[in-house]
Amino acid sequence: MTSENHPVAIIGAGPAGCCLACLLALRGIHCLVYDNDKRPGLMVGESLVPAVIPILRKLGIEERVAKISVSKPGASFFHASGTRVHLKFQKRGANQPGYAYNVPRPQFDNILRERAEELGVRFINHRAVVQKSTSSEREIELAPESLQAAGLDTTQHPRWLLDGSGRTRLFARTLDIDAQKGERFDVSYFAHFENFTHDEVEDGQIIISILNHGWSWRIPLQGKLSVGVVIDKNAAKLYGDTPEQRLEKIISTDPLLKEKSTNARRVSDVMVYTNYQLISKRSHGPGWMMLGDAFGFVDPMLSPGLFMALESARLLDDLVFSHGVPTSDEPAGVKQYGHDLLHWHHAWQELINYFYDGRILRMYEAGSKLAMDKGKWNPAKIMERHVQRVIQAMASGAATRSGYNRRLIDFTARRLIWDVPDAEFFSVKQ
């Protein structure tokens, strides 16, 4: 076997790694995927946005995903004061439907992996080890034991290494690449429940509600509800000593959750996630590139993670591999790739900030007052409907990066709101 046989090795068989492996295989580019096949029974990343669907269709797996999922019409945001915002996804063009899916993550990942296997991708059941390289061709290389695990010797090193290792950030750690960290210091606890009532919204709709020191998610899955809380690390200590105690206490004392959880039964372990807000300072170098969470993740609010994992694979395929396996150290398209990734992450962060700092809830509160005005030709009402559609399109991933949309909601939030409490009132407190 030579490096020409497998010019690309991907580390990590998560959504980013498997999606890229499928896209390259569809182009006839063979790759190896390293994965140690150790996946927890429960993982975050259960709620998708509609912009994922065109990618699932391109991979030919939407029907398989639909079978294990619950269809998600949108997302609702609840504030203890009674303010409720319902975002409903709208169909956009032929390819993007007005829905997304809520998926059990391990099964979702398995579908992607199965599809890659069908397309001829070779999986190496091994936790890849990498090291800084002394070769002029590449900055990072597979350690001898990882080459050996794939049946390769040092003369057969793959031309490109792609880091899809998620929050392990394998290449960034090995190459000491710094990351820009987010502003929040949250911890997240989550589990699956049966008999947790979910009757305030349309079937499949997810609910985000504002807690005293953070926020919670409720994601309907087949036969279960995924309930998670995202809370300031210090405030979490007020709710008990263990993750189980903390999750239970928050649910049983929060005014919006306690009544719905009276008969609820936890049917999984409680999982814990911390320190997840970061964006790497580099996305590529000689012989390597990063994708998915290995490059960056901004925040779980609005569920951009899985989309960004798949979109980063799509961008790499489109911008860097569309003419075959690149031979130069700085291939055409790789700078654009890094630029597009940053642009995406910044756009998501900007939109998510409107939810954290209360501006979105304030806008909707003002909008619902306008809606009560019975006059037909009220221009403020027409504007309000337009702004709502814009926010829905941004949250769906279809128009998140649009300059017009970003300027419009900025202007609306600053200039067109009156007669409602300040944004601070609706904000997510730490």
Ligand X SMILES: Cc1cc2nc3c(=O)[nH]c(=O)nc-3n(C[C@H](O)[C@H](O)[C@H](O)COP(=O)(O)OP(=O)(O)OC[C@H]3O[C@@H](n4cnc5c(N)ncnc54)[C@H](O)[C@@H]3O)c2cc1C
Q: Which stretch binds ligand X (CB under 6 A): 38-46, 76-84, 251-259, 366-374?
A: 38-46
Residue 52 CB: number of other CB atoms within 10 A?
A: 25
Pairing of strands 214-221, 206-211: antiparallel
Give the residue from 74, 77, 47, 99 showing the smallest Cα distance to 360.
Answer: 77
Q: How open is the CA angle 208-213-218, to the nearest 5 degrees?
A: 20
**Contact residue for ligand X among 32, 70, 128, 257 (CB under 6 A):** 128
Phi and psi of 36, rounded to 5°? -90, 5
Asked if 14 interacts with ligand X (CB under 6 A), we say yes
Shortest Cβ 207–ligand X spacing (Å):
12
Interface residues for ligand X in 365-384 (CB under 6 A)?
none
DSSP label at residue 103: -
User: 243 in helix, strand or coil?
Assistant: helix
Q: Which stretch binds ligand X (CB under 6 A): 31-39, 56-64, 395-403, 409-417?
A: 31-39
The whole-angstrom separation of Cα 245 and Cα 250 is 8
The number of residues that bind ligand X (CB under 6 A) is 37
Give the residue from 218, 221, 200, 197 showing the smallest Cα distance to 209.
Answer: 218
Asked if 229 interacts with ligand X (CB under 6 A), we say no
The whole-angstrom separation of Cα 36 and Cα 11 is 10
The whole-angstrom separation of Cα 319 and Cα 288 is 15
Q: Which stretch binds ligand X (CB under 6 A): 114-122, 160-168, 172-180, 359-367?
A: 160-168
- Encoded one letter per residue, x for contact with ligand X by CB under 6 A and - for no contact, window 178-217 reads ----------x-----------------------------
Asked if 34 interacts with ligand X (CB under 6 A), we say yes
Asked if 168 interacts with ligand X (CB under 6 A), we say yes
Shortest Cβ 300–ligand X spacing (Å):
3
Nearest residue (CB) to ligand X, 110 versus 212: 110
The whole-angstrom separation of Cα 75 and Cα 139 is 43
**Contact residue for ligand X among 113, 127, 314, 345 (CB under 6 A):** 127
Shortest Cβ 48–ligand X spacing (Å):
6
Nearest residue (CB) to ligand X, 278 versus 393: 278
**Contact residue for ligand X among 25, 32, 47, 83 (CB under 6 A):** 47
- Encoded one letter per residue, x for contact with ligand X by CB under 6 A and - for no contact, window 287-326 reads -----xxx--x--x--x-xxx-x-----------------
Burial of residue 137, with CB atoms counted within 10 A of its CB: 0-12 exposed, 13-18 middle, 19 or more buried: exposed
Shortest Cβ 159–ligand X spacing (Å):
19
Shortest Cβ 362–ligand X spacing (Å):
24
DSSP-derived secondary structure for 62-78 = HHHHHHHSEEE-EEEEE
Phi and psi of 364, rounded to 5°? -70, -35
Residue 312 CB: number of other CB atoms within 10 A?
A: 29
Q: Within 13 A of 386's CA, how many CA atoms are on the CB side?
A: 11
Nearest residue (CB) to ligand X, 21 versus 408: 21
**Contact residue for ligand X among 6, 8, 17, 196 (CB under 6 A):** 17
Asked if 121 interacts with ligand X (CB under 6 A), we say no
Phi and psi of 97, rounded to 5°? -80, 170
- Encoded one letter per residue, x for contact with ligand X by CB under 6 A and - for no contact, window 245-284 reads ----------------------------x--x--------
User: 220 in helix, strand or coil?
Assistant: strand
DSSP label at residue 397: T
Cα Rg of the chain, angstroms = 22
Nearest residue (CB) to ligand X, 164 versus 182: 164
**Contact residue for ligand X among 15, 296, 333, 367 (CB under 6 A):** 15
Nearest residue (CB) to ligand X, 129 versus 256: 129
Nearest residue (CB) to ligand X, 10 versus 413: 10
Contact 44, 272 (CB under 8 A): no
Contact 21, 116 (CB under 8 A): yes
Site for ligand X, rule CB under 6 A: 11-17, 34-36, 39, 44-48, 127-128, 164-168, 170, 188, 273, 276, 292-294, 297, 300, 303, 305-307, 309
